[in-house]
Amino acid sequence: QKEVEQNSGPLSVPEGAIASLNCTYSDRVSQSFFWYRQYSGKSPELIMSIYSNGDKEDGRFTAQLNKASQYVSLLIRDSQPSDSATYLCAVSNNRLAFGKGNQVVVIP
Amino acid sequence: KAGVTQTPRYLIKTRGQQVTLSCSPISGHRSVSWYQQTPGQGLQFLFEYFSETQRNKGNFPGRFSGRQFSNSRSEMNVSTLELGDSALYLCASSLGGPSSGSHSSYNEQFFGPGTRLTVL
């Protein structure tokens, strides 16, 4: 079982819609959870961190954490073409483990 | 506040050579982690340094090594380069808490622009 799994293929969403990304992790004792955005040819950029169960909102982004189900999600509301990127889920126990990422394409 | 810087940005080497990459963390950050990113494997953890000590290590061969200096700057060295070492090498810095797994924003990592290494 992979440490961090992001199984969805590329996600195409129309401009203004909600993009929903999911991530599961295997290490039950993981403490910190992050979402990074990576534009093509660029390095990952931290957009959200979440440490406790529930929702955390920051602008158009909402991260959701469910430790019992070992599940983290990211919602992007009112998607914009500038949101087109690969989104990486990262989980930290004693080091940061990354999922393979989900590509999001926002269609104007 | 200046971000994480990495030098050089691009490198072309041949098999068997060695290479040293440099990373300067955000001012005040004491932890530096190194990652290898390839299209097939994604982002893979190499190692983490905190206060000049290697705190964690990933599953890479001994050809990959690193160190951290007293000013928190870090270097990564790859010896006897192989074709498969071609990748984007990223470093990330964080404030660094007492434990790299602690439930704390001290462990939020910020990435540099990366060094693109091509091995011919």
Given an 8 Å threshold on Cβ–Cβ distance, is A43 in contact with B111? yes
Tens digits of per-residue pLDDT, B14-50?
999 999 999 999 999 999 999 999 998 899 999 999 9
Residue B97 confidence class, pLDDT cut points 50, 70, 90: low
Sign of CA dihedral B105, B28, B47, B111: positive
Q: Which two tokens stand for residue A82?
A: 């500038």
Closest B-chain CA to A44: B111
Q: Is the pLDDT of residue B77 over 60?
A: yes
In angstroms, how far is CA B115 from the centroid of its own chain?
10
Q: Which residues from chain A sit within 8 angstroms of residue B111, using beta carbons?
A: 36, 43-46
Please tell me the predicted confidence (pLDDT) of residue A1: 66
**B60-85: average pLDDT:** 97
What distances in angstroms separate CA A78 from CA A36, A60, A72, A81, one per listed residue? 18, 7, 20, 10
> In chain B, what residues touch A97 (CB-CB under 8 Å)?
45
Which residue of B21, B26, B43 is the best one to mutate when testing the A interface, meaning the one whose CB has the most A CBs within 10 A? Answer: B43
pLDDT for res B106: 73
* SS3 of residue B83 by DSSP: helix
Amino acid identity for residue B1 in this structure: K
pLDDT score at A27? 87
B16/chain A closest Cα distance in angstroms: 27
Q: How many other C-beta atoms are found inside a 10 Å radius of the C-beta of residue B40?
A: 7
Tokens read off for A80: 């914009």
Tell me, what's the pLDDT at B104?
Answer: 66
Give percent of chain B with pLDDT exceeding 90.
Answer: 83
Using a CB–CB cutoff of 8 Å, tell me whether A58 touches chain B.
no
- The answer, yes or no, to whether residue B101 has pLDDT greater than 60, is no
pLDDT below 70 — which residues of chain A?
Answer: 1
Give the confidence band of B91 by pLDDT, cuts at 50, 70, 90: very high
Q: What is the DSSP letter of B102?
A: S
* Chain B CB within 8 Å of residue A7 CB: no
pLDDT value at residue A94: 75
Kindly calculate the radius of gyration of chain B based on its CA atoms and give it in whole angstroms: 14
- Phi and psi, residue A74, nearest 5°: -135, 130
Q: Do residue B42 and residue A46 have CB atoms under 8 angstroms apart?
A: no
CB-based contact, B54 to chain A, within 8 Å: no
